[in-house]
Amino acid sequence: MNILIVNGSGAIGSSIIKGLNNESVNLIITSSTGEDVHGNKTVQWKYSGSDSVESLFESIKNEHNQLDSVVNCLGSIFLKPAHLTSEQDFDDVLDINLKSSFLIMKNSVPMMRKNGGNLLFFSSAASSIGMANHEAISAAKGGIEAMVRSSAATYAKNNIKVNAIAPGLVDSNLSKNIVSNEVALNVSKKMHSVGRIGTPDDISKFAIPLIADNSSWLTGSVINIDGGLSTTKIAS
């Protein structure tokens, strides 16, 4: 089983890789640095639009011929109100989150149409609830959720399952500006009904079954793994 993990050097990607080390799978991992991840060699690659994605998948096709599962761990956190967000800021947020996911899907499907497969993307709890200063990132993540539902219907006949996970705030390099600020961190903890922010392992333990088992009956789903952020409200 060939599993591609895009941006496997990030916190969640790294945690997924750690969990898959015990599975009988062949991992294809991209990293912007090319450094090993949990003992696995990586392909040094950086997203820069459609040409970079096409080049990556062409090299994978030449070496492996087919893919069984693909996880896109590219993403960003961007917190600014709309009136302070430049057009370039907005374009950049859409590009790294939504456009990268679309391009990865577009290039994955031809390598899965014969034998089926799994596609997993990451949204955010912010896409389903109104959160201040999240206009750009909510638009990008909401687009991912809509794309997941539509593509799940399109490719069901090919036995390609498409799902997304919508985390709450997770302790990672992307969230370091929040996590390193005691006031912001405490506010974030209170927003999650379990009283803490998430860890990469909180996410990976749910992600792994979605990509390591192609017999799953789940497709077109957005799974909220967010410590209750999107579904509960704590009484003050």
Residue 186 to residue 224: CA distance in whole angstroms: 21
| pLDDT tens, residue by residue, 88-111 | 999 999 999 999 999 999 999 999
| pLDDT tens, residue by residue, 4-28 | 999 999 999 999 999 999 889 999 9
Architecture in CATH of 2-169+198-225: 3-Layer(aba) Sandwich (3.40)
- Convert 82-111 to b/e letters by CB count within 10 Å (16 or more is b): eeebeeeebeebbbbbbbbbbbbbebbbeb
pTM: 0.94
Owner of token pair 């990268």: 100
Residue 60 scores a pLDDT above 90: yes
- Provide the residue ranges of all domains of the chain, joining segments of one domain with +: 2-169+198-225
pLDDT tier, 175 (very low <50, low <70, confident <90, very high otherwise): confident
